[in-house]
Each structure stands twice: as structure tokens, then as C-alpha cells.
Chain A
Amino acid sequence: MKIVVTVKQVPDPNAPQGLDPDNTIARDREVVLDPGDECGIEIGLQLREAHGGEVVLVSMGPEKARDAIRKGLSMGADRGILITDGALAGADAFLTARTLAAAIGPESPDLVISATESYDGSTGMVPPMLAELLSLPQLTFAKHVEVSSGRVTVHRQTEAGYQVVEAETPALITVTAGIAEPRYASLKGIMAARSKEVRVVTAGDLGVDRGEPAEVVQGIADAETRQAGEVVEDDGSIGVERIITVLQAAKVL
């Protein structure tokens, strides 16, 4: 089975965040492989272990995104494709999906695995667009995945529980953060990753042109904030007393 996992490099969610004066997200921050995509890689590796085949990582980003691919290769993925091109800087979801589709299409994977949403963009719009452009069914919000004899089954997390969703492969699935604990790269894995192939391609190689953006930024302003109210130090009773008063004033008690 051939599995493609899309992987994105994002600012480290655990590092302090900063904005440049022009309101772009500061670029000098620590970057990491998106934790959601680590789960995607883990599932890809588990499926390869069960069914054989190959796990290919595909990322679009600056040259530095090679580190994200490298990390996935250290975990055990087989090879990577890095799409990097100044012309793609600041790509929106649709351009990202078009570019990823152009790189993934020729691989003819049985399964494409993405995270439900990325840690920085976090709109989760790339996967459904990618599925459409690759003409694949999409099985989303998976908290459990099984593949057997050409069928993929997922447990799709919903508000009230989950749905069991099934499709024939090839298909695209999106996985949730809780689906699996990503494995650590072993020293052996890190060594092995050094000799694994990372093919670097440009937008031109893929025949992708930038096109018109879906949106134009008109302005960025501070969000409305709430003011701090009363703060009390609990002494064993004042906390409860004050909260009760507030609940009564709000007429919920």
C-alpha cells in the first residue's frame, strides 16, 4: 500500500508567540513538524507495518521545512517530497491544496493522510480541497482507522459520539490529535533518515501558477478584550461566597 502523509512545518506551539510590527507572524520563531501531522505519520507507519508498502511525506514550505520531513523520516517514513518556491510564499488554502495535489497526483497513493487542522492555520480547509482536486473521497475527523482489502474504515468524531465511515481506497483521511501517540525517532532512525531521499521541486516543476488569491487583507486590528474584574484571594470561604453572589446576580441561582 502506498501512503502519502501531508506534513506542515509550523511555529512551535509551546514557544512564546510574537508578531512583527507589520502584523505578520514573526518568522524567527522555533518551527516544528505540526504535532497533528506527527499523528498522521504515526498512523501511516502503523498501516505500513500491517500491510506493507511505502510512506511518502509531502510538504510545501520554505527550504527549512526539510527539517519537518527529516523528522518524519527519522520516525520511519520512506522518502519525502519538499515543494519549495518563493512564488508560493504566503499561499492560501486553495493554492496550498493545488500545489500539494500536483505533487501527490503522480504518486497515485492508495491513501492520503492529513491532520484535521494544522496548529497554526487551523482552519482545516486544505484537506477537503486536496481531496476534491485529487478526486478522492474524504473520511474526516478520524479517531480510529482500519484498512482491509481495499477498504478504509474510520471512526469519525462527532459532537455526540462518532460515525463509522467507509470507502474504497484510494481515499483521503484526516486524523485527530488523539488518534495515536506518535513514536519517538530512535537513534537508528535518525541515522537512517540521513540517507533517505528528499526530492525538492518548485511550483514550476509542478506546473502550478500562483493565480488570484481568494482574499485580500484590508486591515488588522486588536480584538475586543474584556476588562479584568474583581480578583479575590481565597481563604477557605471568601471564594465560594463571592462566586455565589455573582451567580445570584446573574440570576442563574
Chain B
Amino acid sequence: MAKIWVYAEQSQGRPAATTLELLTRARELGDVEAIALGPGAAAAAPVLGKHGAKRVHVNEEAAFAEYLAEPATDCLAALVGAGAPDLILFGFSPDSREVAGRLAARLGTGLIANAMDVDVDGSCFVAKVPYFGGAKVATYRANTSPAVVLIRPKSFEVSESGGQAEVVEVAAAIGGGSRRARIVETKTEAADKVKLEDAQVVVSGGRGLGGPENFHYVEELADALGGAAGASRAIVDAGWVPYAMQVGQTGKTVRPGVYIAAGISGAMQHTVGMKGAKVIVAINKDPEAPILKMADLGVVGDALKILPKLTEAVRAKKGG
């Protein structure tokens, strides 16, 4: 059996959704162990076990949460030296990719990033990676030991295995010079709205809305449907809305029941983040817009006229 490690992201004892996705997939491929670091690690262990980790390596040292990347890299490097995993899986999230990058450079292995699936092929691991903006899928065979693979969020559906993990307290192994990039403060800007990646309905707006003053149409419809608002990169880069709302290759991946795209052209880099939605609705002025070629329902029309009427109609249905 292949020896597979999953780097578990957790905060206050709650594992990240992506971590549970990785465990769900990993347990089909081999013997799974997880590494959970920082305050809350021990509390997270039973949840990791329930999703397929047979053993969880934990250390509760505060430095893991206080400093970026380096302490976790040190600990992992020490564990890899002793435990010799065949494959180490990370989520393709900002925090994990920094740890994975440092670790792979330190081990001298390199890595495969941005994967959407990983599999065993004989004695090797293969990973599927979106290529050419998502129009193609490349299959890579990992050429290193351990193989290091980073997987996009929402690549697998989470399920429990009902297992129980053995919890092993490990040394923090943080090097003398590794407490460097210190998080001195954490600021929360987004209010407690429905989380984009958990929402059953996502309404996203793009440049076709004309200007930031019109984005409220998107938010109002999302609110009326009890969903979350998203955005294309064009309007995130233009500063209309924060990055946390960006859907796509360099933003979030969402798989809601319904995705409504308003004033979004449907560039591959956007659709790679939403094409897993069950139903896609697009509102676009241009009958030739690529988004209409992948939507279950495409409405050719002016989003600025349709959105407010739609919101009203939704409210009326909900009210009555």
C-alpha cells in the first residue's frame, strides 16, 4: 500500500474543507496519515480520522499559526525524513502552497501544482492538471519520491469513512531562524455572509455590469436567494469588489446548485472555477458570448434591467 500523507489545514480544531476532500480521495489510494499543526491540531484529529486518516501527527505549538510557512516546513521536513511517505498531498490554497513550495525545494523534489485529481498508476502517482486555461487536461506522472501534489479545492466530494485515527504527538522541530514572517494582526473585512464556496446559489457579476455602482444588483439577488455573490477577475482587478469574491482559476472554485453569471463573458479562466455547478444560468447582452455556449439557460439581454426584476420576482415567490 502506498504511504500517503495529507497536510491538514485547520483552525481552532476545524479542518479546512479541502483537507477533508483530500482525505476522502487519498484513502482510495493507500494508507493515509495526516499532519495537523498549531493550536487546535489535537481537536482536529478525530475529524481527520473520520475521513480516512489512520494516524494523525499533531503538534500544538503556537508558532505554527503565528508565522508563515517556515515553522510548518521545518516540522514536515523532519517528519518526511523519518517517515518516508510516497506521496504528500496539499490543498492548492495560499497557506498550503507556500509550505509545499518551501518543502519541495528543501527536499529537492519539485512538485505538481494545481491538480484536479491524483491517482495511482502501478508504482507511480499521476495527477491531472488543467492546461491551456482549462480547455485541456494534462496528465502528469510524478517523477520524484516523495511525490508532492497540490490539489485544487472542490476537486472531490467529501465523505466519511467512519474511521478512528491514532494520534501521535510529534516534535515541532522548528529551526532557530524560522520564526521570521510573523502575523501581527488579522483583519476581517467580509461580514458574516454565506460563504461563497458553501453557497447553494452563487450570483456572480462581471465587467458587463458597467461599474462598481451596479454591483448591488448582484448582491441583492444573491441575498434574496439566500446565496452568495461572486465576481470575475476583471472586476476584482479593477477594484470593484474584494478578491475573496473572485471565482476562477486564480480565485475560488464553486460547485453550487445554481450559478448565475451576469455580465460575464465566460473566459476559460473563469469557467474553470464554476463549471462544476449543477445548473448554470447566464445573462449576457452578446448572443455570441462564450458563456452562452455552456449555460443550461442563457438569457440574451441587459443584466442591469433583468437583475432587479428577477430579484423582485424571487422576493415575491418567497413572500407568497
Chain A binding surface, main DSSP class: mixed
B156: interface (CB < 8 Å):
no
Q: Which residues of A contact B140 (CB under 8 A)?
A: 215-218
Stretch at the interface among A41-49, A50-58, A68-76, A159-167: A159-167
Stretch at the interface among A105-113, A117-125, A183-191, A192-200: A117-125
Interchain nearest-CB distance for A168 vs B (Å): 7
Contact in complex: A222, B181 (CB < 8 Å): no
Q: Which residues of B contact A165 (CB under 8 A)?
A: 68, 181-184
Contact in complex: B299, A243 (CB < 8 Å): yes
Contact in complex: A139, B68 (CB < 8 Å): yes
Interchain nearest-CB distance for A175 vs B (Å): 13
B106: interface (CB < 8 Å):
yes
B70: interface (CB < 8 Å):
yes
Stretch at the interface among B53-61, B81-89, B158-166, B308-316: B308-316
B73: interface (CB < 8 Å):
yes
Residues of chain A from 207 to 227 with CB closer than 8 A to chain B in the complex: 212-223, 225-227
Contact in complex: B186, A161 (CB < 8 Å): yes
Contact in complex: A141, B94 (CB < 8 Å): yes
Q: Which residues of A contact B182 (CB under 8 A)?
A: 165-167
Q: Which residues of B contact A215 (CB under 8 A)?
A: 110, 112, 127, 140-143
Residues of chain B from 265 to 303 with CB closer than 8 A to chain A in the complex: 275, 278-281, 283, 287, 292-302
Distance between Cα atoms of A117 and B181 in the complex (Å) = 20
A-contact 0/1 string along B211-236, CB 8 Å cutoff: 00000000000000111000000001
- Known contacts: A127-B101, A159-B244, A166-B181. The answer to whether A216 contacts B132 by CB under 8 A is no
Contact in complex: A234, B112 (CB < 8 Å): no
Q: Which residues of B contact A133 (CB under 8 A)?
A: 105
Chain B binding surface, main DSSP class: mixed
B8: interface (CB < 8 Å):
no
A13 to B, closest residue via Cβ: B269
Q: Which residues of B contact A240 (CB under 8 A)?
A: 306, 309-310, 313
Contact in complex: A222, B105 (CB < 8 Å): no
Interchain nearest-CB distance for A157 vs B (Å): 5
A148: interface (CB < 8 Å):
no
Contact in complex: A168, B180 (CB < 8 Å): yes
B135: interface (CB < 8 Å):
yes
- Known contacts: A163-B186, A171-B181. The answer to whether A242 contacts B297 by CB under 8 A is yes
Residues of chain B from 197 to 251 with CB closer than 8 A to chain A in the complex: 200-201, 225-227, 236-237, 239, 243-244, 249-250
Contact in complex: B105, A132 (CB < 8 Å): yes
Question: Chain B: interface residue count, which band?
Answer: 35 or more
Partner of A226, one of B73, B227, B260, B275: B275
Distance between Cα atoms of A19 and B134 in the complex (Å) = 13
Q: Which residues of A contact B239 (CB under 8 A)?
A: 178
Distance between Cα atoms of A97 and B102 in the complex (Å) = 11
Contact in complex: A225, B294 (CB < 8 Å): yes
Distance between Cα atoms of A94 and B121 in the complex (Å) = 24
Q: Which residues of B contact A122 (CB under 8 A)?
A: 114, 249-250
Q: Which residues of B contact A252 (CB under 8 A)?
A: 200-201, 225-227, 257-258
A129: interface (CB < 8 Å):
yes
Contact in complex: A123, B313 (CB < 8 Å): no
Distance between Cα atoms of A222 and B136 in the complex (Å) = 4
* Residue in B68, B97, B281, B294 with the greatest tally of chain A CB atoms within 10 Å: B68
A6: interface (CB < 8 Å):
no
Q: Which residues of A contact B283 (CB under 8 A)?
A: 239
Q: Which residues of B contact A15 (CB under 8 A)?
A: none
A102: interface (CB < 8 Å):
no
Q: Which residues of A contact B136 (CB under 8 A)?
A: 19, 23, 220-223
State the B residues within 8 Å of A (CB).
68-70, 73, 94, 97-102, 104-106, 109-114, 126-127, 130-144, 148, 150, 180-190, 200-201, 225-227, 236-237, 239, 243-244, 249-250, 257-258, 260, 275, 278-281, 283, 287, 292-302, 305-306, 309-310, 313-314, 317-318
18 A-B pairs whose Cβ atoms sit less than 8 Å apart in the complex: A17-B133, A128-B100, A132-B105, A138-B68, A139-B181, A159-B244, A214-B148, A215-B127, A220-B137, A222-B137, A223-B137, A226-B275, A228-B293, A231-B295, A243-B297, A252-B258, A253-B314, A253-B317
State the A residues within 8 Å of B (CB).
17, 19, 23, 25, 92-95, 97, 117, 122-125, 127-133, 137-141, 156-168, 171, 176-178, 212-223, 225-234, 236, 239-240, 242-244, 246-253
